[in-house]
Amino acid sequence: MTLKLGIIGTNWITKMLVEAAHESQAYQLTAVYSRRAETGEAFAKDFGEVTVYTDLAAFYESGIEVVYIASPNSLHYEQTLQAIAHDLHVIVKSQPFQIRRNMKLFTLPCVSTPMSAYLKQLVTCIKLILKRLKRKWRRWRIFPGQR
């Protein structure tokens, strides 16, 4: 089963993550969010049929199952909460906020290693995170009174 991947942010590390995700054959990039359509389209052209969004709400509702948030750090908190509210699995490059007692959040720490080793480690981490999320997602209560 291939998971539909969406990304927020179009920097070099995002491109490397998408390439590693495709190499794992577990993910297919289907959506890109960028504040500017031109930037998103330039990024997406290397990955086949990918829809570019400049409206974040439309991006979250596009049918993606996993979102990688690689926007500026100041935007991580709001974008992560919005993704969780849309029942998406979230991969974020830094811890966007203090973990609440009733929320479980996995983060990927930044590691200084040779790039090829980093990508292998990142793919392994993503697979582990998604495996755990699939097993436990239905039992988690994200916010009190929700679900």
Kindly tell me if the per-residue pLDDT of 139 is higher than 70: no
How far is it, in rounded angstroms, from Cα 92 to Cα 98?
14
Q: What is the sign, positive or negative, of the torsion defined by CA atoms of 11, 22, 86, 41?
A: positive
pLDDT at 78: 85
Buried b (16+ CB within 10 A) or exposed e, 58-82: ebbebebbbbbbbbeeeebeebbbb
What is the three-class DSSP state of 128?
A: helix
Rounded (5°) CA angle 17-46-73: 40
Per the CB < 8 A criterion, the answer to whether 29 and 45 are in contact is: no
Kindly tell me if the per-residue pLDDT of 115 is higher than 90: no
**Taking all residues of the chain, what is their mean pLDDT, rounded to a whole number?**
78
Stated pTM of the model: 0.66
Domain ranges of the chain: 3-139
CATH 3.40.50.720 fits 3-139, yes or no: yes
Of 103, 105, 111, 112, nearest in space to 91 by CA: 105
Q: What is the pLDDT of residues 52-70, one digit of tens each?
A: 999 999 999 999 999 999 9
